[in-house]
């Protein structure tokens, strides 16, 4: 059977990769300090903060999408802000999709990082301090290297989860080719249009991608019995 | 001079310390667990923040009033109970961790020096610190702390997590450290033997308070302190190697006002050594003993006698030159021999341990 991805399929694949990469990078940047804080603080509202971060795990994507849509809309606080900055409105743009995905995938990055940071013994950081390393220095020279497996887990999960999202994309991004039409939406379109062959190929590609990512991940990151 | 004043109190624990220590040599902080030794050390390092504390180290203020120098700004070295090497760094990178973080002009201790001093040449190129033995890891940790050229080295029971063999492996290195580097050391320990071997100055802590502070030999020879009740209580004698008796394989150690024969030592004549005579190894005779196998007999004066439980008493004895010895005998012997303070007697020393 001869098959090649259509131009719009390829564009969706490219867009998905771009979205997941940008989102993963942003998530690592903002997720790391959040995870560090959650892992180290004894603040009384730590529990509440942790719960807020974890919300996307349990909420239906449509709920998150709906609230974000409202917030980003012309009358929402985010929408007001972007309009006053002459940035226009975020819904149905790539930027809007990035913001929504960051929020949606946040727990998948924060939680593995938090676990990794919590596993770092206080003693290691104290040792660094007695060796003239400031808090920031010891974070970069001791904490981050020791949390490397967690960092890898967080990146993989953040990336894969962004690739796999559908509901939030539909609510915020809609279905604009090259801008917001990612692979999961493209498959939906194919099915709607009864183009099962294309749907099959794209779905199989997604399946293969997810499996390979997880395979690599479990092969190289399994802790196994400690030596 | 080091001046430290800390007052902490929370349920189940209190530390109330105001002490001045010499900023040279090795000062041991000695006491049972729970006496606040480690907390005190952590306060000095700035790892615990006690409001209202005061800490001056050689005219530099580390803490006073609102001023609190963060740990990484204090020129100190800290050796923890467990070596705490960074698992993600090679041995060399571990050693260089603090060294890289001080200005080149402050690097008074060099890598080669530390490698030599602590015998690290076999270890320096090992990549995985977890492949090192406990004793080796602790040596690397000590070297790592020394390489920050600290003006104060804090050691928190650095040997207590090690087995006896590793302890014996490290002790000579600690002694060399003492001899070769002019860095004052605060050494926390609850092992009297270690303290007797390494320290010059002794601070006794109990329930968060300093109950005694003074030179090692002075403090260890006091009968009113808890150290006198320990099973291995005893006096420390600073002596000089005098002559070797090759035929009988013995060495004579001279100290002010007397001498002791010990099994032949490797040191040459004139070397300063430290010997320890345990109280339980010293017995008393009221006349010069004849026909005894004991080689070391010293004329002494009884300075003080104290009850040590229902059956025993401790004696504090002064030899001619002022050197103090401790003796532990039965209460019955004391009464039979009519021993009282001021009496001139003979101390029979059954065993002398050369500790440094």
Distance CA B354, CA B276 (A): 6
Q: Mean pLDDT for chain B?
A: 92
For B97-108, write each residue's pLDDT tens digit: 999 999 999 999
For residue B76, the SS3 value is strand
A100 φ, ψ to 5°?
Answer: -60, -40
For chain A, how long is the longest CA-to-CA vector?
67
Inter-chain touch A137–B97, beta carbons under 8 Å: no
Which residue in chain B is spatially nearest to A129 when comparing CA positions? B72
Q: How far is CA A161 from CA A52, A95, A105, A175, in A?
A: 18, 18, 6, 19
pLDDT band with cut points at 50, 70 and 90 for residue A227: very low
Which residue in chain B is spatially nearest to A121 when comparing CA positions? B84
Q: How far is CA A67 from CA A72, A91, A100, A181, B353, in A?
A: 8, 12, 10, 21, 80
The count of residues in chain A is: 227
Tell me what ipTM this predicted complex has: 0.86
Inter-chain touch A137–B80, beta carbons under 8 Å: no
Give the pLDDT confidence score for residue B256 in this predicted structure.
Answer: 87
Residues of B in contact with A137 (CB under 8 A): 72, 101
Give me A102's structure tokens.
């960051």
Q: How far is CA B329 from CA B93, B235, B288, B289, B296, in A?
A: 55, 15, 18, 17, 17
Query: What strand order describes the sheet that includes B258-263?
Result: B258-263, B250-255, B234-245, B272-278, B353-354
Query: A212 vs chain B: nearest CA distance in angstroms?
Result: 28
Complete DSSP assignment for A90-116:
-TTSHHHHHHHHHHHHHHHHHHHHHHH
- The answer to whether the CB of B307 falls within 8 A of the CB of B331 is yes
pLDDT band with cut points at 50, 70 and 90 for residue A222: low
Query: B95 vs chain A: nearest CA distance in angstroms?
Result: 10
Residue among B80, B101, B144 minimizing CB distance to A123: B80
CB atoms within 10 A of CB B76: 25
Q: What is the arithmetic mean of pLDDT over B262-283?
A: 92
Distance CA B34, CA A98 (A): 55
For A97-137, write each residue's pLDDT tens digit: 999 999 999 999 999 999 999 999 999 999 999 999 999 99
Inter-chain touch B88–A148, beta carbons under 8 Å: yes
- The answer to whether the CB of B20 falls within 8 A of the CB of B13 is no
Q: Which helix (DSSP H) or strand (DSSP E) does residue B298 occupy?
A: strand B296-308
Residue among A126, A137, A146 minimizing CB distance to B47: A126
Inter-chain touch B145–A130, beta carbons under 8 Å: yes
Q: A130, A137, A143: which to substitute to probe chain B, counting the most B Cβ within 10 Å?
A: A130
Q: B80, B85, B88: which to substitute to probe chain A, counting the most A Cβ within 10 Å?
A: B88
- Is pLDDT above 90 for A213? no
Distance CA A205, CA A190 (A): 14
- Whether A62 contacts chain B with CB within 8 A: no
Distance CA B53, CA B40 (A): 11
Contacts of A218 (CB under 8 A, 6+ apart): none
Angle among Cα B334, B337, B343 to the nearest 5 degrees reads: 90
pLDDT band with cut points at 50, 70 and 90 for residue A2: low
Which residue in chain B is spatially nearest to A122 when comparing CA positions? B84
For B34-87, write each residue's pLDDT tens digit: 899 999 999 999 999 988 899 999 889 999 999 999 999 999 999 999 989 999
Give the pLDDT confidence score for residue A225 in this predicted structure.
Answer: 52
Give the burial class of B30: count Cβ atoms within 10 A of its Cβ; 0-12 exposed, 13-18 middle, 19 or more buried: buried
**Sign, Cα dihedral of A81, A82, A83, A86:** positive
CB proximity under 8 Å: A 101-120 to B: none
- Whether A123 contacts chain B with CB within 8 A: yes
Q: What is the arithmetic mean of pLDDT over B286-298?
A: 92
pTM for the whole structure: 0.86
Residues of B in contact with A135 (CB under 8 A): 72
- The answer to whether the CB of B138 falls within 8 A of the CB of B83 is yes
Query: A113 vs chain B: nearest CA distance in angstroms?
Result: 17
- The answer to whether the CB of B191 falls within 8 A of the CB of B183 is no
């Amino acid at each position: 059977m001869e098959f090649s991805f259509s131009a719009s399929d390829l564009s969706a694949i490219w867009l998905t990769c771009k979205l997941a990469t940008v989102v993963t990078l942003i998530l690592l940047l903002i997720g790391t300090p959040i995870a560090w804080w959650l892992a180290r603080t004894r603040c009384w509202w730590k529990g509440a903060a942790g719960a807020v971060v974890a919300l996307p795990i349990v909420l239906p994507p449509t709920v998150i999408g709906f609230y974000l849509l409202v917030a980003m809309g012309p009358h929402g606080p985010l929408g007001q802000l972007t309009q006053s900055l002459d940035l226009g409105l975020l819904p149905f743009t790539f930027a809007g999709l990035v913001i929504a995905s960051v929020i949606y995938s946040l727990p998948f990055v924060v939680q593995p990082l938090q676990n990794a940071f919590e596993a770092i013994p206080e003693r290691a950081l104290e040792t660094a301090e007695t060796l003239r390393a400031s808090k920031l220095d010891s974070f970069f020279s001791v904490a981050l290297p020791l949390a490397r497996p967690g960092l890898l887990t967080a990146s993989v999960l953040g990336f894969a989860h962004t690739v796999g999202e559908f509901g939030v994309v539909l609510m915020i991004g809609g279905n604009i080719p090259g801008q917001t039409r990612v692979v999961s939406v493209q498959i939906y379109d194919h099915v709607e249009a009864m183009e099962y062959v294309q749907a099959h190929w794209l779905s199989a590609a997604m399946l293969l991608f997810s499996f390979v990512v997880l395979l690599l991940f479990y092969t190289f990151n399994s802790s196994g019995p400690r030596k | 001079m080091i001046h430290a004043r800390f007052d902490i109190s929370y349920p189940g624990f209190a530390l109330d310390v105001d002490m001045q220590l010499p900023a040279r040599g090795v000062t041991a902080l000695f006491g049972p667990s729970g006496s606040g030794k480690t907390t005190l050390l952590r306060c000095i390092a700035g790892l615990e923040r006690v409001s209202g504390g005061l800490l001056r180290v050689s005219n530099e203020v580390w803490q006073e009033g609102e001023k609190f120098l963060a740990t990484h700004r204090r020129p100190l070295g800290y050796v923890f109970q467990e070596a705490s090497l960074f698992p993600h760094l090679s041995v060399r990178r571990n050693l260089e961790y603090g060294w890289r973080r001080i200005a080149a002009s402050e690097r008074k201790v060099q890598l080669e020096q530390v490698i030599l001093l602590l015998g690290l040449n076999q270890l320096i190129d090992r990549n995985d610190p977890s492949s090192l033995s406990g004793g080796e890891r602790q040596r690397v940790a000590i070297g790592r702390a020394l390489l920050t050229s600290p003006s104060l080295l804090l050691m928190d029971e650095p040997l207590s997590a090690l087995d006896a063999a590793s302890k014996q492996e490290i002790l000579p290195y600690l002694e060399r450290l003492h001899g070769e580097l002019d860095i004052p050391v605060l050494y926390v320990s609850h092992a009297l033997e270690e303290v007797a071997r390494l320290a010059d100055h002794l601070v006794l802590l109990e329930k968060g308070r300093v109950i005694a502070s003074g030179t090692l030999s002075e403090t260890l020879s006091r009968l009113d302190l808890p150290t006198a009740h320990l099973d291995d209580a005893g006096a420390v004698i600073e002596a000089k190697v005098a002559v070797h008796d090759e035929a009988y394989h013995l060495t004579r150690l001279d100290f002010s006002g007397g001498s002791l024969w010990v099994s032949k030592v490797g040191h040459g004549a004139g070397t300063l050594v430290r010997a320890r005579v345990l109280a339980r190894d010293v017995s008393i005779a009221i006349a010069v003993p004849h026909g005894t196998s004991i080689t070391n007999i010293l004329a002494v004066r009884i300075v003080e006698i104290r009850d040590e439980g229902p059956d025993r008493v401790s004696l504090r004895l002064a030899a001619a030159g002022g050197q103090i010895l401790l003796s532990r005998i039965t209460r019955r012997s004391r009464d039979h021999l009519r021993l009282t303070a001021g009496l001139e007697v003979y101390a029979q020393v059954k065993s002398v341990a050369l500790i440094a």
